[in-house]
Structure 1
Amino acid sequence: MRPTRATALLTAGVVTLLGVPVGAAAAAETPTSLYVSNHTASNCSDAGTGTQAVPYCTISAAAKVVEPGQTVRIKPGMPYAEAVTIDRSGEPGKPISFVPDAQSGRVQLSTGQRLTVRGASHVVLRDLITLGGVHVKGSSHVELDRIFSRDGDRNALAVGEGSTDVRVSRSSLAGVLVDGGSRNTVLGRNGISGSSRSAVTVVDAPGTVITNNTLSGLCAATLSVTGTSTASGLFNNVFSTENTSSACTSADPRNAVLVSQSAAAGTLADYNLASGRAGHDPVPYNWSGTTYKDAASFRAATGQGAHDVLTASAEEADSFEGSPRIDSADATAPGVLLTDLYGKPMVDDPLVPNTGKNGGYLDRGAEEFQDELRQVTVTVDPAHAPVGTEVQVQAVSDSRWPTTMTYHVDFGDGTPPVETRQGTGPHALAKHTYGLPGDHVIKVTAVNGTGQKVSAEKPVKATPQGPGTAAFAATQVLPPAGDTEAHLPPLTFAFDASASVTTWPVARMEVDFGEGWFQDYEGLQTAQHTYDRPGDYKATVKLVDTKGGTSTTTRTVRVDYAPSGYVAVTPIRLRDTRTWGGTLQGGEPTVVAMPLNLRTGNSTAGGMSAVVLNVTLTGATQDTHLSVSPTREDRPATSNVNVRAGGTTSNTVTVPVDKYGWVWMRLNSGQAAMIVDFMGYYQPNTGQKFSPVAPTRLADTRTAGGALAGGTTRPVKVAGVNGIPADAKAVAVNLTSTAATSDSHVIAYPDPAHRPAVSNLNPEPGKDKSNQAIVPVGPNGTIWLYNNAGSTHLIVDVVGYYGADGKALFTPVVPKRLADTRTTGKLAPGATTTVAGLPAGALGAVLNLTATETTGPGFLTAYGFGSARPEASSLSALPGLTVPNHVTTPVGDGKVSVSNSWGGSNHVITDLLGYFTQG
């Protein structure tokens, strides 16, 4: 049969397309390159020659000079703020190309900037983004590949003014217009959308071929071919359209395909799929002036669309399971590409019959559905067993296709890998027997029928024959640096038995923590336990394997507090028994809960190990003392606050907290009211390090400023002076009152605008009184002193600071007595005693120093052993009174010296509260 003129035109288009595949322009020689980069450090110049060292700054500069066979390589990443016009031509086999200079990424023009090819031929444009549209005018043999284009309400791509042999592939476009006598335009594997216009509009453009595109329309025919656009071809496309929409101004039905009478001659259509939106029946065809509502009537009247398919909805068409678009296209149609919109190859879905032409399995539309193998799950049985035991490896992939899978199994012991072919369900892939003990990793790689690969690994332990050996490591669990909401008690330890060697997997683990507490665990776990107090504990771990075999080990675990940094806070009152809780009764322990949820910057106090308190006793019914300890059961031989009947006395206390964040108070005898103020806390991995200094006087109102009157405040410069750095966060100072005119209280605090309702010192007429305070540093490196009533002279001696350049971390201890001269004889006036018992590496110590049975007014001074005695005092001693004070002092060679003034003899009692070591 003699072919018609239209058939001959279409056949000519097929030969052209198949002879020169998209993206594979045959080059007679390797082209040279020009480079473009607008990046700041690119050293670019439009006046140069476009070398890699000195690239052009703009694409336009390269477009003006590019020669046949050259490739313009454009650096992606920064939008190019220019409209680009290409009007130079390549030659057959030597095109000019514009591509990204990178393995991945697209070159982008700034919003609104258009790309135009005018009067040019043999041009290749690849991987470009433009939000100003692409125009091809009066040009030939132009290839546009992987283009992303939008242009507001206008068509994103326009081919016109008699252009010929323009090929557009694998691109995402918002509307395409082919007009103006253009010929042999090919659209292949594109995703094209339209709204108020058609997705693709072809006017007066004969020989246009539209193959394997996914087109969606709304307010017009999805594909419109009109005018003299004869001998066109529509193959393997997916059309998605709506027949009504509130956004459209016309209520006319929306056709998937509209071919006018003037364009119908020689135009062919087949293997297309049309679908509507949910709830809308598609109206697929308007051909040569007649509307056809189904494929059968269209085929009967025109002879076209013999293999077309209509579906109720786009959702059905897009489904991976049983979609009519899968494996049903014509792989011999003109313009066919064997890679899809995303670069994926054509593959055969084994779940779907191959209904494409001649039994082919090309999918319709722009996308080729794939297996999409994502993971493989591996099981090993047994995964823990003695050498000589047969191990079985199973695997299952998530492949949707029950094609034959290939599995590669590497046993991880140097033996040759095994390859097996199975389906996608769970399968026994291989069996293996390990000959030597060791920890191995089995790696399984699954490969599906399209060559996609995924891998998974599974550890396996080959153990020696014979009885197992239990072992464990006990490590202290510390709060993490930064924010933590959970309460982590001090003295918490983790028991890790993972280093144990057992013949078979562990079924049960039994742990005796060594203080009367036992715990059973299922399987091998990391046990955690909080001890009540420091000490050496004999802990035992027993492992029972799945075959009933046992192994046991016992070792001594040293439990102690961890070195900690100090967190200074705005002081707060925790307890005042005068308003809540009544009086303390002698011999009955009283608990005070610490503020575990206290927020301080990026941390909470949930992991505090010790606290700094100011404890005041008042209204005592008899001479007595208060001891502070971390547990209820302790009956310490130490004391913290000593008070006379009817008097008021306060002292700073540093003490560990128990597992609940509590501190216990025990009044020795009688009754008294108690006030507890929270001043700060120590926590591992948090806070500031401490640097002790020899006691140095910062202020003395007897020589400067005069006595501090009641209801008034006075600043004291503490940071940036006397060796204290300007950025210190807190200072440890000894406060002394003298010449007080009435009972009062003194507050030391950082912010003059916010005076806390606490107290640090209780002056009394006729008595010199001392107390140590740790005070956050306020604005301009100052602290503020407030006197509540009467007037008093105040003396401020600094003994150390906390800051970024601090040297030491603090380790709290359960209060213990280091020395008591009541067993060795009084300390005479002017004499010095040496207190030993501190760790050799201690840089400083926190002590509770007590003077008792004093014969005359005077003071005690604590300082580092081997150093010169400073002039400052640590405690003011008074005849007939027992006077304690919280003292922070340097340490020398594990010892502290305590010197008595010339006022009278004293008994000196020294209790250890903690010590500082190099951080």
Structure 2
Amino acid sequence: MHRRLLISIATAALTAGSMTAVQAAHADAGTLYVDNSRPGQCSDAAPTAGSQQTPYCGIPAAVAAAQPGQTVQIAAGAYPGEVDLTRSGAPGRPITIAGAPGWAVGGNGTLVNYLGAHAFVLNGVHDVVLTNFNLATRSDGIVVSNSSRVTLDRFVSSHAGGPAAGVAAPDGVLVQPGSDHVTVSRAKIISYWGAGVSAVGATATTVTTDLLLGNAGGAVSATDAPGTVVTSNTTTANCGSSVVLAGASTGSVVENNILSGDGTVRQGCPPGGPEVSLSAGSTPGSTLDYNIVNPLANLKPYAWGNDSYSDPASLAKATGQGAHDIKGDPKLNLQTGGTSMFGPLPGSPALDSADAGAPGELATDFKGNPRVAVAGLAASGTGVGYYDRGAVEMQDPFQVTVLTTDVAQGPTPLPVTFTAVVSNPWNSPVSYTFDFGDGTPAVDSAMPTVTHTFTTEADFAVATVTAHLPFGAVRSGQTNVRVTQPGPLQPALVVGTGANGQPLSTSLDLSGTTSPWEIADIRLDFGDGTPPKDNGTGTYTTHDYRLPGSYTVTATITDQGGRTATISRPVTVGAQFVPVAPVRLVDTRYGIGAPAQPVGPGGVVRIKVSGANGIQAALVTAVTLNVTETGATTGGYISAYPDGTSRPGASNLNFDAGKTVVNQVTVAVGDDGYVDLYNHSSNVQLMADLQGYYTPNGFVTGESTFEATGPTRIVDTRAGTGAPKTAIGPGGSLTVHLGQDADTTAVLAHVTATDTTAGTFITAHAAGTPLPGVSDLNPAAGSTVSNLVVVPVDGHGDATFYNHSGNTDLIVDLQGRYETAAGSGTAYVALSPVRVLDTRHAVGAPTAQIGPDSTLRLKVAGTNGVPAGARAVLLNLTGTGATAGTYLSTYGDGAARPTTSSLNLVPGATAANLTLVPVGSDGCIEIYNRAGSTDVVADLQGYYA
């Protein structure tokens, strides 16, 4: 019942182990290949079976065909079933059965049997080598019967679960009667219910340099097996005795072993029993010496003949054996993983204390590492004196941690200094060989630093340093050097906006910069007054601007050749629009958002934007309002501007006495979350309807970028364009398709009502939504009125226009779309309103009205805070003093004049309309007047970059 505990402990140690795989030597008579991972190509019966092109599918077919001197090379993979070997090699020309590299558990090795019966059975064969396997069985792992000169080398054999039915206490390796000269070397044998290695009736069995862990029947058991050699093994967590030589196992040798290891893991085993036991019939001619037995394992670790002994001294005094044995903690590394697992730690009595001339002793250890003298430790072993006891030799901790260069890239001729950075705790004498990877001869050096000049170009020359240690051990390190043609430092800078979904964040990419040298340093000035950033050698970064606007980014780049270059790029960051269902924020007629009284001359209405419809102050930079004036007692105008700032000399609405006038206003929001409406003269009632707001946050539901698409006429009920050729009647509505795709959240359109038969109002809203209590146009009977309107659309891109009274024709000129999908849309930058054109006072143009069928050209980009390259500007366009009924059209300079209107004028009246105007490549716009003469005023509100 205690065996399961030991098996689980040993299995945990196994699965974390790591070993260095060694390729089996190819036989002189050729190689037969096995690879069951190629089912369409492998064959056990084809005439060419066993070739690399047509490998065998299974191991049995290959070993049945093997001849003396041949190697059966088996690819990595799982090969179920028992393999019976019946063919033999010849002296000096064995048959070698070799698995793939990575034979340790956890590697990409060759797994044989896995939980069936035996893995390999060798019966009546000779001169056979098995190597590089990972075996998993529920019976004996390998069985050798009536066979000679058999080597079982470099494998893992593990047992899982209980024994197979009818199988008692299976062994990892079972050597049966009639066998001689069987060697088990550098194996890891774990968790068998019997012994790790068992020899019964066999002669000259050698068990050397093995890890024997967690086996319930002990590590090595030999019965009537003369000449058994047990040398340089490490055993731990085995039940019973680690080594038992029973019956007449005369002339045997037990040397250089570490027996039991950590006694605490043996608590699940039955008490009693020596660590190493030789029966009376086995002692003649046998030798026991240079072993380490753990003091925690047993009070009397030795049984020699019929007597037990508690320590090496008493054993030596009585028998002459064990004079160099040690009873003490072997100080093994029992941590899982690492190349030194189960090896001696510093201070271990196993270090440099073995008998190098012991029978079966190997020149390399369990992992294939050389035997190494520990620096500063007096060798106490026999022979050369520095072999360690046990299966794992403590290696020189010397490491080449990295191979460095003073320069990794540069033009020819390029001198490079290479330095091997090493860790040398033992202060071992070291010599170095440097191969520069460019075809020139390697250089030997007593120092870890050399300088080499590259004279030919190379994309990546792989330079290697090899450090040579005593006893033939080597360590190596590599690095790459790029050798280029001479040439200039050519900077490249690509600036993008909306990084990480944040409208005010910009990305800077300098990866296109070229130089024959590596980049040594990049310094970035973002043009916003923040401290420059030293970006090191990084060619990518992001920067968050505090405010929307246009900036100039400058990068100063230095290469390792000491050359510096500078490059600048403009960038504009702005806000994105969030359309909302229209809602009335202010109505002075009814006390909504302001006192219920007319606004007098010089009066100001403060509109609270922050908090309206859930808008947060930190998320809003500008707001779009539909502002309506009604009931004026005299003519006047309204100006909108951010609260807390100076009132601009610009207007947004111009009205006459008794008229109702509406205009869209997009205005920056004050730091306190308010905007102001200033009334210049008269007494008026004011209404303000929220249509949307601009945010630089980047994570607001419905947030949209703007894509200018027009002006394009979408609807004209007079001509039957986009709708039936009929006026909209009283209480009637018209639903039209305005959205381009499902990503469209709203459109920006000039909406015109004409031929109105009664005073009315027009309201636009998303199709299928309730009619909001707001208005977008307020035409009087017989008038033509237009307004720039943000029109929400439903998921299909449809909007509904409602007419309250009378009959009216409707014209809709599309200016652009707001879309949530990433694409070519641009962000908006709100400015403090500024007058950029007034033909009455020679602002932006000479003092002269625009005549009939005439155009005025106005420079808007590169001035008044609008950057060169701006796509569009938002202007409040005002016409006054018209001599005839006319309309104004606006468009980008160099573009074809549209057939749509931006502002409709009647003689003698003053009218205003917010207008989106595309900007020409020269930074100018055109304003066209159809008939008569008129003065024009334009107030800049903001721009789209």
TM-score category (smaller protein):
0.5 to 0.7
Which of 127, 130, 134 lines up with 2:141 in the alignment?
Answer: 134
CA distance in 2, matches of 1:523, 1:336: 57
C-alpha contact 1:241 1:256 (8 A) present in aligned 2: no
How do 1:37-56 residues align onto structure 2 when only pairs under 5 Å count?
A: 37-40=35-38, 43-48=41-46, 49-56=49-56
- State the AA in 1 paired with 2:180: T
Report the more deviating stretch, 164-173 or 152-161. 152-161
Deviation at 1:210, TM superposition (A): 1.8
Partner of 2:571: 561
1:457-514 residue CA offsets vs partner (Å, 9 max, x unmatched)? 999xxxxxxxxxxx99896876796x589x97569999xx999x9xxx99xx999999
Deviation at 1:821, TM superposition (A): 5.3
Q: Where does the alignment leave 5 or more consecutive residues of structure 2 unmatched?
A: 1-20, 164-169, 334-341, 407-415, 453-461, 482-488, 596-601, 681-685
Report the more deviating stretch, 852-861 or 446-455. 852-861
1:310-359 residue CA offsets vs partner (Å, 9 max, x unmatched)? 22364489553221111111111111111112221111111221111135
SS across alignment from 1:179:
strand
Deviation at 1:895, TM superposition (A): 5.4
Report the more deviating stretch, 442-451 or 366-375. 442-451
Q: Where does the alignment leave 5 or more consecutive residues of structure 1 unmatched?
A: 1-21, 382-390, 433-440, 460-470, 543-550, 599-605, 720-725
How do 1:156-167 residues align onto structure 2 when only pairs under 5 Å count?
A: 157-162=172-177, 163-167=179-183
Closer/same/farther in 2, CA of residues 24 and 664 from structure 1, 3 Å limit: closer
Deviation at 1:614, TM superposition (A): 3.6
Closer/same/farther in 2, CA of residues 207 and 860 from structure 1, 3 Å limit: farther
1:907 pairs with 2:929: no
Report the more deviating stretch, 866-875 or 252-261. 866-875
1:659-716 residue CA offsets vs partner (Å, 9 max, x unmatched)? xxx8998647359979584467699xx9999684662528988539997999999784
C-alpha contact 2:497 2:507 (8 A) present in aligned 1: no
Report the more deviating stretch, 893-902 or 115-124. 893-902
1:111 pairs with 2:123: no
Deviation at 1:85, TM superposition (A): 2.8
1:783-808 residue CA offsets vs partner (Å, 9 max, x unmatched)? 35478997999876555669999985
How do 1:361-760 residues align onto structure 2 when only pairs under 5 Å count?
A: 361-375=386-400, 397-406=422-431, 447-449=468-470, 451-453=473-475, 483=500, 534=550, 560-561=570-571, 614-615=624-625, 623-627=637-641, 650-651=664-665, 667=676, 669=678, 677-678=692-693, 692=709, 695=712, 697=714, 703=724, 716=737, 718-719=739-740, 733-734=748-749, 736=751
CA distance in 1, matches of 2:113, 2:581: 59
CA distance in 1, matches of 2:332, 2:153: 28
C-alpha contact 2:640 2:676 (8 A) present in aligned 1: yes
Partner of 1:288: 305
Partner of 1:36: 34
- State the AA in 1 paired with 2:89: G
CA distance in 2, matches of 1:61, 1:410: 45
CA distance in 1, matches of 2:584, 2:207: 83
TM-score (norm 2): 0.65
Deviation at 1:193, TM superposition (A): 0.6
- State the AA in 1 paired with 2:119: L
C-alpha contact 1:203 1:229 (8 A) present in aligned 2: yes
Deviation at 1:33, TM superposition (A): 1.6
Deviation at 1:901, TM superposition (A): 7.1
Closer/same/farther in 2, CA of residues 91 and 540 from structure 1, 3 Å limit: closer
- State the AA in 1 paired with 2:570: D
C-alpha contact 1:275 1:282 (8 A) present in aligned 2: no
CA distance in 2, matches of 1:708, 1:313: 103
Q: Percent identity of the aligned residues? A: 27
Closer/same/farther in 2, CA of residues 914 and 512 from structure 1, 3 Å limit: closer
Report the more deviating stretch, 670-679 or 357-366. 670-679
Partner of 1:185: 205
SS across alignment from 2:383:
helix
How do 1:231-246 residues align onto structure 2 when only pairs under 5 Å count?
A: 231-241=251-261
Which of 234, 241, 261 lines up with 1:221 in the alignment?
Answer: 241
1:170 pairs with 2:186: yes
1:148 pairs with 2:156: yes
Closer/same/farther in 2, CA of residues 445 and 881 from structure 1, 3 Å limit: farther
1:528-562 residue CA offsets vs partner (Å, 9 max, x unmatched)? 997986577999999xxxxxxxx999x99856315
- State the AA in 1 paired with 2:797: I
CA distance in 2, matches of 1:375, 1:574: 72
CA distance in 1, matches of 2:330, 2:729: 89
Select the structure of larger CA radius of gyration.
Answer: 2
CA distance in 2, matches of 1:580, 1:448: 90
Closer/same/farther in 2, CA of residues 737 and 98 from structure 1, 3 Å limit: farther
CA distance in 2, matches of 1:314, 1:286: 24
Deviation at 1:216, TM superposition (A): 1.0
The count of residues paired between Structure 1 and Structure 2 equals 810
CA distance in 2, matches of 1:315, 1:342: 16
Closer/same/farther in 2, CA of residues 326 and 871 from structure 1, 3 Å limit: same
Deviation at 1:282, TM superposition (A): 6.7
TM-score (norm 1): 0.67
C-alpha contact 1:240 1:276 (8 A) present in aligned 2: no
C-alpha contact 2:22 2:132 (8 A) present in aligned 1: no
Deviation at 1:69, TM superposition (A): 2.0
CA distance in 1, matches of 2:555, 2:100: 65
CA distance in 2, matches of 1:711, 1:197: 98
Report the more deviating stretch, 213-222 or 732-741. 732-741
Partner of 2:126: 121
1:346 pairs with 2:371: yes
Closer/same/farther in 2, CA of residues 492 and 618 from structure 1, 3 Å limit: farther
What CA RMSD, in Å, does the superposition of the two structures yield over aligned residues? 6.7
Partner of 1:64: 64
- State the AA in 2 paired with 1:560: P
C-alpha contact 2:301 2:311 (8 A) present in aligned 1: yes
Deviation at 1:23, TM superposition (A): 9.4
Closer/same/farther in 2, CA of residues 908 and 479 from structure 1, 3 Å limit: closer
C-alpha contact 2:584 2:774 (8 A) present in aligned 1: no
